[in-house]
A and B are shown apart, each in its own frame.
Chain A
Amino acid sequence: MTVQAVQSRSATSARAAVLAYIVVSGLVLLLMMLLGLTMRLAQAQWISIQPDFFYVIMTMHGAGMVGIAGLSGAAVMWYFVRRHVPVSTAVFVANLVFFLIGAVLILGSGFIGGFAAAWTFLFPLPAHSGELWSVNAAASYMVGLLFVGVGFLLLHLDIARGILSVYGGLGAALGVKQAFGLAPEDEGPPAAVTASTMVLIINILGILLGAAVLVVSLVNLYVPSFTFNALAAKNMIYFFGHVFINATIYMAVIAVYEILPVFTHRKWKTNRAFYFAWVLSTVMVLTVYPHHLLMDFAMPTWALIAGQIISWLSGLPVLLVTAFGALTNVYRSGIKWTVASGLVFVGVAGWAIGVIPAIADGTIEVNSFMHNTQWVPGHFHTYLLLGMVAMFFGFMTYLVPRTTGALLPFGFWLYLVGGSVFVLCFLAAGSVSVPRRYAVHLPEWLPYDRVASIGATLAVLGALILVLNFVIGLPSAMREEAEA
């Protein structure tokens, strides 16, 4: 076999692996959205489900969404970073396998074992079920999360290996010299490499801390006399959770850097401000997590104040570099608006807009009134549903452009309008103190739940069309690849 033949086969298998990621991500995203819709319909009292099952769904929805956002983000990142550095398709596929094993364990823990301690599994809740789930069900959930974490750890280490082999160091790949004016900005690494480097730095740290608290909780399940400090556990869980979910956005935003210029015919210019923003974000995403603990008065006050200030600061790189960059790239560009370019543009908008209520809630004085109300899912659904997931759907539609005809743009608008109504209802409900994570709502809260349910239904239908478009076009995409 010739070298060209080996390379071609390698490219085909890599592309097939990316397509497999997208199929799994699209289908699981749909399933998780249906779980979310079920919760809203139950809160709206349009359907009836038992509270214990509601909380199972809530746990599965939370953990599943975080996990699948990670997987879909990884598909985007890996697809683009492998243009610049050598990465292993086998490791990429291994991550998918680890993910699927983890997903089976997690789904089994909930839908068979009744595990319902929320994705946060705050210590020592997993061991205090009130006789509703067993120790083994809780363990299944935690081992499942560990499997998912191990897969991502392998993936990040492999990308780190590839990056180090080309750039020699993580600082060089991040563009630290360019950020501080120590090297010409036009000699900096490509955007996909910078973003991937940031993601692997933060996610390796986040996953390790998450794994540590999972192991501690696992031991506590079987040896109850082995206990751990609840506040320390909470710190570790929120550090891990905050880093991981943020990393999903940082992975997906690579789609914006790569796809938007294709339609505007303008290069996405990486410059000093770009590199500086990513270096800054690397530090801030690791240090901002105490804003999840603003109502834990036992925390050191300096950490909470730092959490507030860093929350405000961390919004700036997003708004002033990526969002502003996207606006500049599109402004009077003659862009060809397609569903793919529209989705990545919406993705940047959703991310930037979601930052505003997030920063508000990251303010201690506001958090005193908004913490754990529906304001919280309001802001993160804005930058996940209308941000990160829109970017991923844009990437998906970029690879398989249009197989469902006029239905595809219809799906785009359903998703955008329905998603907007849905997130605004969350925020409005939060502003009138409706709690989050309640299986049963008071009568005065029902209007928010009902309008949100309508919005969520439209968004799910939109997502269904977008995913369907990809699935229908998959065989021809595979054929084209094989012929190429």
Chain B
Amino acid sequence: MVQEVVWGVSIVLMGTLAAVFAWVAIGANVALADYGPIIASAYRLRTWLFGLAIIVLIGTNYYTLGKLPYVSRMSAPTSAKAAQPVEAVAEQWSWSIKPDAFRVGETAEFHVASKDVNHGFALYDPDMRIVAQTQAMPGYINVLRYTFNEPGVYRVLCLEYCGVAHHEMTAEIKVSTH
């Protein structure tokens, strides 16, 4: 899952940076050196790091921007035809989701709207991990597609703070094998 990859990569990079800071801090009084040569070699290293960062930046952005969740950018009309339209309307503090039962392999196309304030539509799988989300905004309909690949009870949680019963604003979607 994306979450696990991001957590792992972030921890490694954060740990590496923390280790570099700790190494410099601990070694600062070990073997003193003139500032001039240090600056010169640091600048060379910085140039290399800048180049590396640009390569990572271009590569990662190219890779991830090919997978946008915005339906308006999704092309194939055939896939749109196969998607089951679902009305998901938020209102302080409940959801109206119709239909709310699917079969494994079906693609739901959620038309997410709000009757009052800003809400968040987050789809949680049966293991309570987010698999897709969008915002529910007054005056707009945000379209989100998701294909149910696992059976079970999915939950919709509100992920935009919307008032004092925000945490109670949940709904269930049942996905069966047949």
Which residues of A approach B to under 8 Å, CB–CB? 51-52, 55, 58, 116-118, 120, 122, 124-125, 128-130, 132, 229-231, 234, 264, 266, 269, 273, 295-298, 301, 304-305, 308-309, 312-313, 316, 319-320, 323-324, 327-328, 330-335, 337, 342, 345, 348-349, 352-353, 356-357, 360, 363-366, 368-373, 427-428, 431-433, 435-440, 442, 444
Q: Does B61 contact A (CB under 8 A)?
A: yes
Question: Contact: B122 with A320, CB < 8 Å?
Answer: no
Question: Contact: B70 with A330, CB < 8 Å?
Answer: no
Question: Contact: B65 with A297, CB < 8 Å?
Answer: no
Name the residue among A298, A316, A330 with the largest chain B CB count within 10 angstroms. A298
Please provide the chain B residues from 115 to 172 with a CB less than 8 Å away from any CB of chain A in the complex: 116-118, 120, 122, 124, 128-135, 137-144, 157, 159-168
User: Complex formed: what's the CA distance from A117 to B162 in Å?
Assistant: 7
Question: Contact: B24 with A297, CB < 8 Å?
Answer: no
Question: Contact: A427 with B39, CB < 8 Å?
Answer: no
User: Complex formed: what's the CA distance from A52 to B167 in Å?
Assistant: 11
User: Complex formed: what's the CA distance from A124 to B168 in Å?
Assistant: 20
Name the residue among A319, A342, A348 with the largest chain B CB count within 10 angstroms. A319
User: Complex formed: what's the CA distance from A130 to B162 in Å?
Assistant: 10
Question: Contact: A331 with B17, CB < 8 Å?
Answer: no
Q: In the complex, how many residues of chain B place their beta carbon closer than 8 angstroms to a beta carbon of chain A? A: 78
**Which of B32, B93, B134 is in CB contact (< 8 Å) with A334?**
B32
Question: Contact: B135 with A295, CB < 8 Å?
Answer: yes
Known: A130-B92, A440-B168. 16 other contacts (CB 8 A): A51-B164, A51-B167, A129-B163, A132-B163, A230-B118, A296-B135, A297-B135, A328-B38, A334-B28, A334-B32, A349-B17, A363-B60, A369-B2, A372-B122, A435-B167, A438-B167
For the complex formed, measure the closest distance between the CB of A422 and the CB atoms of chain B, giving whole angstroms: 14
Q: Can you sample 17 A-B contacts with CB below 8 Å?
A: A130-B93, A231-B137, A231-B139, A295-B120, A297-B135, A297-B144, A301-B70, A320-B46, A332-B38, A348-B21, A349-B21, A357-B14, A363-B60, A364-B69, A427-B7, A433-B129, A435-B122
Which residues of B approach A to under 8 Å, CB–CB? 1-4, 6-7, 9-10, 13-14, 17-18, 20-21, 24-25, 27-33, 35, 38-39, 42, 46, 49-50, 53, 57, 60-61, 64-65, 67-73, 92-93, 116-118, 120, 122, 124, 128-135, 137-144, 157, 159-168
User: Complex formed: what's the CA distance from A313 to B60 in Å?
Assistant: 12
Question: Contact: A327 with B20, CB < 8 Å?
Answer: yes
Question: Contact: A444 with B128, CB < 8 Å?
Answer: yes
Considering the complex, give the chain A residue whose CB is closest to the CB of B112: A297
Cβ–Cβ < 8 Å partners of B57 in chain A: 312-313, 316
Considering the complex, give the chain A residue whose CB is closest to the CB of B31: A332
Question: Contact: A298 with B142, CB < 8 Å?
Answer: yes
Question: Contact: B28 with A331, CB < 8 Å?
Answer: yes
For the complex formed, measure the closest distance between the CB of A116 and the CB atoms of chain B, giving whole angstroms: 6
| A320-B35 contact in complex given A230-B138, A332-B27, A433-B3, C-beta closer than 8 Å | no
Question: Contact: A120 with B135, CB < 8 Å?
Answer: no
Cβ–Cβ < 8 Å partners of A357 in chain B: 10, 14
Interface of A is mostly: helix
Question: Contact: B167 with A366, CB < 8 Å?
Answer: no
| A230-B137 contact in complex given A364-B68, A368-B132, C-beta closer than 8 Å | yes
Interface of B is mostly: mixed
Question: Contact: B18 with A349, CB < 8 Å?
Answer: yes
Considering the complex, give the chain B residue whose CB is closest to the CB of A267: B35
- Minimum-distance CB pairs A-B, first 9: A431-B7, A372-B159, A297-B142, A332-B33, A349-B21, A298-B140, A438-B167, A328-B42, A437-B161
**Which of A116, A320, A333 is in CB contact (< 8 Å) with B32?**
A333
**Which of B13, B60, B93, B133 is in CB contact (< 8 Å) with A295?**
B133
User: Complex formed: what's the CA distance from A444 to B126 in Å?
Assistant: 13
Cβ–Cβ < 8 Å partners of B17 in chain A: 323, 349, 352-353, 356
User: Complex formed: what's the CA distance from A122 to B1 in Å?
Assistant: 31
Considering the complex, give the chain B residue whose CB is closest to the CB of A366: B6
Question: Contact: B164 with A116, CB < 8 Å?
Answer: yes
Question: Contact: B46 with A324, CB < 8 Å?
Answer: yes
For the complex formed, measure the closest distance between the CB of A118 and the CB atoms of chain B, giving whole angstroms: 5
User: Complex formed: what's the CA distance from A433 to B49 in Å?
Assistant: 33
Question: Contact: B10 with A356, CB < 8 Å?
Answer: yes
User: Complex formed: what's the CA distance from A432 to B124 in Å?
Assistant: 11
Question: Contact: A345 with B2, CB < 8 Å?
Answer: no
Question: Contact: B29 with A335, CB < 8 Å?
Answer: yes
User: Complex formed: what's the CA distance from A332 to B122 in Å?
Assistant: 50
**Which of A120, A230, A320, A370 is in CB contact (< 8 Å) with B161?**
A120
| A51-B165 contact in complex given A122-B160, A320-B50, A324-B42, C-beta closer than 8 Å | yes
Cβ–Cβ < 8 Å partners of B161 in chain A: 55, 58, 117-118, 120, 122, 125, 437
User: Complex formed: what's the CA distance from A300 to B32 in Å?
Assistant: 54
User: Complex formed: what's the CA distance from A230 to B135 in Å?
Assistant: 12
User: Complex formed: what's the CA distance from A427 to B7 in Å?
Assistant: 8
Question: Contact: B116 with A128, CB < 8 Å?
Answer: yes
| A370-B3 contact in complex given A231-B137, A328-B39, C-beta closer than 8 Å | yes
Considering the complex, give the chain A residue whose CB is closest to the CB of B168: A440
| A431-B29 contact in complex given A52-B164, A320-B49, A442-B128, C-beta closer than 8 Å | no
Name the residue among A117, A342, A435 with the largest chain B CB count within 10 angstroms. A435
